[in-house]
Each structure stands twice: as C-alpha cells, then as structure tokens.
Structure 1
Amino acid sequence: MRMAVYQQNNSSQPLIPYKFRRAIAPYLYLSPTIILLAMLMLFPMIVVVRYSLLDNVIMNKRPVFVGFQNYQAILTNETFRISVGNTLYFTIMSVIFHLLIGLAFALLLNSKLINSKVRSILRVFYIMPWVFTATIIAIIWRLLLNPNGIVNYILMTLHLISRNIEWLSLTQTALHAVTFINIWAGYPFYMVSILAGLQGVPGELYEAAIIDGANERQKFWHITIPQILPIIISIAMLDFIWTMQVFPLVWMTTGGGPIHATEMLSTFTYKLAFSTYKFSLASASAVIILLLSMCVALFYVKHQQARE
C-alpha cells in the first residue's frame, strides 16, 4: 500500500519543473516578435552574406562559390574608395555640425532671457526640417540651389558671387552642397534631445556655482556639458550610423554625381545591384557597410552599458 501511495504522489508531479517554466515564460511571450524579427532582419542578412560569396547571383542560374573574390574586387575598386572618402566626409561633417547647431538652438530655447511665447514660436520654426521627408527636402533644395534659384539670387545681390553657380552639378561644390542639405535636415534631432537633457539638469548645481563665483562660461563647461555629455555621445553614435547609410537624399539630389563627386557607399551599392546588375558585388559592398556600422554600434552598446 505504501508503494501505491508513493507511485500516486510521484505521478502527480508535473513533467516540467516550476522554476524552468517560470524562467522560460518571458521568452515564450517574446517568441512571436523574435521569430518576426528573425524573418525580416536576420534571414535577409544571411542571404546577402551568402550572395557575397558566390558568383553573380540572380543573373547566373548556377552561381558557383568564389570565396572572398567579390570582397577583393570591391576593396580594389577605385569608385569604392572614392565613395568611402565621400561617405566619411559627409558623415563626420554632418555629425559635427548637427551637434553644434543643435546645441546652440537647444541653449537658446532653454534660456530664460527669451519670452515663453517667443520660445514656443522658435521651437516650431527650428523643428520644421524634421517634419519634411527626404523626398520633399531634396525637391526643395534642388529648387533653392538651382542656377536661377533664390540662393544664387541672394548671393549675387550681396555681391558674394559674380555669376550663377550650379551647386549640385559642379564637382567642386556638389559634395559640400549635399552635406549642407543633410545638416539642415538633421539638426532638430540633436536640438530636441539636448533640450530635454538641459531641462533635466538640477538647478541646485547652478545655484551652488553662483555662490562659488562661477561665471556663465565656467557653468557651461563644468556643469552643463558634463551633465548632457552622455546624451551627446549616444545621439552622436546613432547619428553616425544613420548618416553613413543615407540614400534617398543623395540619390534624389545628385544621384552620386557628377563624376562620382557625391558617390556614397549606399549609392555605390545601389548602382552595382540595379544599374549594372552585379548582385554579388553589391552584396559584398552591403556586407562591408554592415561591418562598419556594427563597429560603431558596438561602441554605442558598450557606452550604454557603462552608463547603466
């Protein structure tokens, strides 16, 4: 009889231990999202990496494995080298001026010297570039920078230039013009983020600094900047990743021209795939862009972990 009771108690125990079920429950709830992300992100990445190791896929019915030949061809391509230099200039200059302009406008909007109604109007005015899509921004600035556009008219009226300049069609000015457009379109992200950080700085720090006899410059460098520095680093890293992959703005203003003057990694990869139909080379170029982005993303993740 004791044996029967023992067997009955033993059979009533669950097959899966409670601790294991409790530990795996969150992952079961997240599994639909994880599966969806894997299908939409991980699977395409694996396919692109596979394509980069084969002969010209899609166009070739029976592609063969060629190893790293596509990567070698990309890295030795002169246009690729030009696109890397253009992308670095475009990205670095955009991030720097995004930060400077965004910080300046955030300090202005956070200043108590300006009336609250004026601040509200300025906030709407300064955030306007963020409202437009890349298509609208490209169209607006192509009209403004047209040889007969308003920019040339103003500069000639001020006697800063003697003739109309084709800003987006000259190799000497195209890259600078596209970079300027991207700076204009992207600074509101910094402005909003830094303004939120400034409003979170404790007022007691400034009161203590005033008691200690600190001037405005000292308060800015020793209180304001250290307090918002984590925000600046985070948004700068994100902006670097996003700007390095900008495509619509460049494509709709210059298309990578003239004569590769504004060729970016994104436009270079697009042309390989859909202009010359070299999908394997385009895949190799895309993987290189992914690796560069992952390097910056790794620094971003480490910085976030250090903050926590």
Structure 2
Amino acid sequence: MKKSILKERAIKISFILPAMSVLILLTIYPLYLVIEMSLFDFQDYGNPVFSGIENYILVFKDSIFWIALRNTLLFTILSVTLVIITGMIFAILLNQKINQKVRSFFRSIVMFPWLLSSAVVGSIWVLLLSPFGLVNVILVNSGILESGIPWLSDERFALFGVILANVWRGFPFAMLMILAAFQTIPEDTLEAAEVDGATQLKRFFLISLPQIKGILLTVTTLELIWTFRTFDLIYIMTGGGPVNSTEILSTYVYFKAFQNLDFGFASAISIYMLIFMLIFAVFYVRAIIRRED
C-alpha cells in the first residue's frame, strides 16, 4: 500500500518537475542574483565591494528616485482609472441590443490596440502627439487650441501624453472582461427592474455594478500590476524625459544599471518594486478567493 502511494507521488512530482525547473531557472535564480547584486557597490565595476544594505539606504536619499516614484504612482493611478472607465463605457456600448454582425465588427476594431506590441503603440503615439500630429490637428481645427502643443517634449504635458497612449493600449482588456461579466447578468433580473420603473441609470448602479464588482476588482488589480512595471512604452516615447518628467521606476532602473553601470543601486530599486508588486499580487489573490467563495 505504501509503495503504491509513494509511486503515485513520484509520478505526480515527475509531471511538475519540468515546470518547477523552468520556474527556478527563469525566476528564482535571477531574483537571487538581483538580491545579491543589491548588496554590492559597483562604482568600481571591475571590483565590486560588499556594502550590505547601503544601496537600500541610498535609494531614499536619491532625489531622482522620489521623482520617479511620484511619476510612477501618478502614471499608474491615472492610467488604471482611465482604463477602467474607458473599458466600462465601451463594454456598456457593446452590450446593447444591436445587430450581431455590427457588434462583432466593432468588438474587433476596439480590440485592435491590445493586439499591438508596446513598440508599435509607442511609435504610433509619438507620431500622433508630435507638434504636427493628428491630435494637435484636431485640437487646433476644432478651436480648442490656437497652436499645436509639443506633448512629448514639454515637461508639463509629457506624462499625460504617455498616459494617453497607455490607456489606448490597455482599455480593450478591461472592456473585454467587463463585457463578459455584463453578459452573465440574468436578463430577467434587468427586465423585472425595468417593469418596476427603475431607470437605466438605477439598473446599472443597483443591479449591474454589484454583479460585476468581483471582475472589476480583479481587472483593477491586474492593471495595477501591469501598469506599475511598464517600461517599453515610456522608453520608446520619451526615454524618461524631458527633465525626468516621465521618469518612472522601471526606466530609472534601466538608466542606473545600463548607463551608469550602478547595478547595486538599480537592483535595490528593483527589490523595492518587487515588494510593491507583491502587495498588489496579494490583493489579486484575495480577490480571486472572494470570487470563488
């Protein structure tokens, strides 16, 4: 009996062993290297010196770090808020009772930004937000602006320019998830509320919204994690400039590691970012557990 149990366990372990090996190779081992590097001073690149937790202390004394942290929080909060709102609006519109072919067509069109790589999205929005780009042409021709704005080269507007691009890229996922949640709401519940005299606005806030709050929480948590670690979009559009106005933690880590060759300092920032993302991940797991309950 014991031999059969041991054999069964050995078979189960053999199935998960390849996946565990890949996980260790691609995740745990690199994480170990980052933690190790964060404990060394790489100012003399050829001869790193053990410095303990000094890099973790120096991070808080660095003025650019606080600018990058502020930009990261602002970029994350505004992006996620606008992604959820935009996704909600499009989900409501595409959930209406219209011709099935027309609805399928518009769903495909709306999903287009989500299918593009960050490099393509960044390149598109660099052109759209240029002084003579489509955004400025529309704003000037509609009388909102007298002349075009250099969105990505003006420190007052650059962060909002990359937020706009990030929202355009990210809202289709939120829309898809919210739309799927809307379609799980029993139709007879909404019809009963309509018969009772509830307006469309009341039906949304009192029936639809409570029904999809689990999905909303999950989508929000995922978007927070994805947006917080954004790198490629901002690197392509602004490189963190002008004057650090779009510098976020991920681009600052890249700058310190691969331009200044200060791998210890960059690794310390990476560990702080990991802690932040783990906090978000805890909320995500709790949201999943609540949904299952």
Give TM class, smaller chain. Answer: over 0.9
Alignment correspondent of 1:21? 7
Structure ID, larger Rg: 1
Aligned mate of 2:60, from 75, 89, 95 = 75
Residue type of the alignment partner of 2:242: P
Distance 1:169 1:109 in 2: 36
Q: If the length of structure 1 is used for normalisation, what is the TM-score? A: 0.90
What are the superposed Cα offsets for residues 67-108 of structure 1, whole Å, 9 maximum, x if unpaired? 110011112111000001101111111111111110110111
2:92 is paired with a residue of what secondary structure? helix
Return the offset for 1:132. Answer: 1.6
Residue type of the alignment partner of 1:143: L
Return the offset for 1:262. Answer: 0.2
Q: Which runs of 5+ in 2 are unaligned?
A: none
The 5 A counterparts of 1:137-216 are 137-216=121-200
CA contact (8 A) 2:113 2:168 kept: yes
Report the more deviating stretch, 119-128 or 22-31. 22-31
Distance 1:160 1:268 in 2: 35
What are the superposed Cα offsets for residues 165-186 of structure 1, whole Å, 9 maximum, x if unpaired? 1100001000111111111111
Aligned mate of 2:81, from 79, 96, 111 = 96
Return the offset for 1:235. Answer: 1.0
Q: Which runs of 5+ in 1 are unaligned?
A: 1-13
Return the offset for 1:215. Answer: 2.4
What are the superposed Cα offsets for residues 106-165 of structure 1, whole Å, 9 maximum, x if unpaired? 1111111x3323212211221111122111111111111111222222222122212221
CA contact (8 A) 2:256 2:265 kept: yes
Q: If the length of structure 2 is used for normalisation, what is the TM-score? A: 0.95
Residue type of the alignment partner of 1:301: V
What are the superposed Cα offsets for residues 27-83 of structure 1, whole Å, 9 maximum, x if unpaired? 22111111111111110001100110112189233x332111001111211100000
Distance 1:307 1:115 in 2: 32
Instruction: Give the direction of change, closer, same or farther, for the CA distance of 1:67–1:198 in structure 2 (3 Å limit).
Output: same
Distance 2:142 2:199 in 1: 38
Aligned mate of 1:265, from 243, 246, 249 = 249
Report the more deviating stretch, 173-182 or 211-220. 211-220
What are the superposed Cα offsets for residues 182-237 of structure 1, whole Å, 9 maximum, x if unpaired? 11111000011111111121223223323443222222112211111111110110
Distance 1:172 1:18 in 2: 69
CA contact (8 A) 2:37 2:264 kept: yes
CA contact (8 A) 2:41 2:262 kept: no
2:40 is paired with a residue of what secondary structure? coil
Alignment correspondent of 1:246? 230
Aligned mate of 1:301, from 261, 285, 289 = 285
Alignment correspondent of 2:271? 287
- % identical equivalent positions: 38
1:204 is paired with a residue of what secondary structure? helix
Distance 1:211 1:18 in 2: 63
Alignment correspondent of 1:108? 93
Q: Is 2:29 the counterpart of 1:51?
A: no
Alignment correspondent of 2:21? 35
CA contact (8 A) 1:58 1:279 kept: no
Distance 1:283 1:103 in 2: 37
Distance 2:275 2:15 in 1: 31
Alignment correspondent of 1:125? 109
Alignment correspondent of 1:8? none
Alignment correspondent of 1:5? none
Distance 1:218 1:253 in 2: 42
1:34 is paired with a residue of what secondary structure? helix
C-alpha RMSD of the superposition: 1.6
Return the offset for 1:24. Answer: 4.6
